[in-house]
């Protein structure tokens, strides 16, 4: 996806500032492209998955039962590991904002457990408010 003119200008400014501060580091960063790295991982995972399928099916054709089970299980495990490896690379290549969302959910659930509830009054506060209204004759 091509960058807009504004995004390209901002990227150029950041690159110049980085180069002015540490030229050696800027040069090494400029020559690395994470998208290519993740695409390679996805391709490797695809090959691993195909090899796993071949092993799984080959295991079914073998004559001895112990050999059939061993090769088939090996193929299945290779397929599963390749899928997880490829899915991880796919998520990271797409931006991988999953960690930030998970951390936010964990923080929110911890606050609720501690009684912080994020603006919602706790149980004791609700009981006290109800008791106060009864004493004042509002209920």
Res 128 pLDDT > 70 = yes
Positive or negative, the CA dihedral 96, 102, 103, 108 is positive
Percent of the chain with pLDDT over 90: 29
- Apex 78 CA angle, 41 and 84, nearest 5: 50
Long-range contacts of 38-44 (CB under 8 A, 24+ apart): 38/89, 38/90, 38/92, 38/93, 39/93, 41/85, 41/86, 41/89, 42/86, 42/89, 42/90, 42/93, 44/85
Tokens of 14: 């950041």
Res 91 pLDDT > 90 = no
pTM assigned to the model: 0.49
pLDDT by residue (tens digit) across 36-80? Answer: 778 889 999 999 999 999 999 999 898 899 999 999 999 999 999
């Amino acid at each position: 996806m091509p960058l807009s003119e504004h995004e390209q200008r901002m990227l150029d400014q950041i690159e110049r500032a980085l180069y002015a501060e540490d030229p050696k580091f800027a040069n090494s960063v400029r020559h690395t492209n994470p998208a290519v790295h993740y695409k390679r991982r996805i391709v490797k995972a695809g090959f691993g998955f195909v090899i796993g399928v071949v092993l799984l099916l080959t295991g079914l054709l073998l004559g001895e039962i112990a050999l059939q089970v061993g090769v088939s299980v090996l193929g299945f495990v290779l397929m599963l590991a390749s899928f997880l490896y490829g899915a991880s690379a796919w998520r990271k290549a797409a931006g991988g904002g999953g960690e930030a969302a998970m951390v936010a959910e964990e923080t929110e659930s911890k606050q609720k457990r501690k009684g912080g509830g994020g603006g919602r009054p706790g149980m004791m506060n609700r009981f006290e408010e109800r008791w106060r209204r009864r004493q004042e004759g509002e209920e």
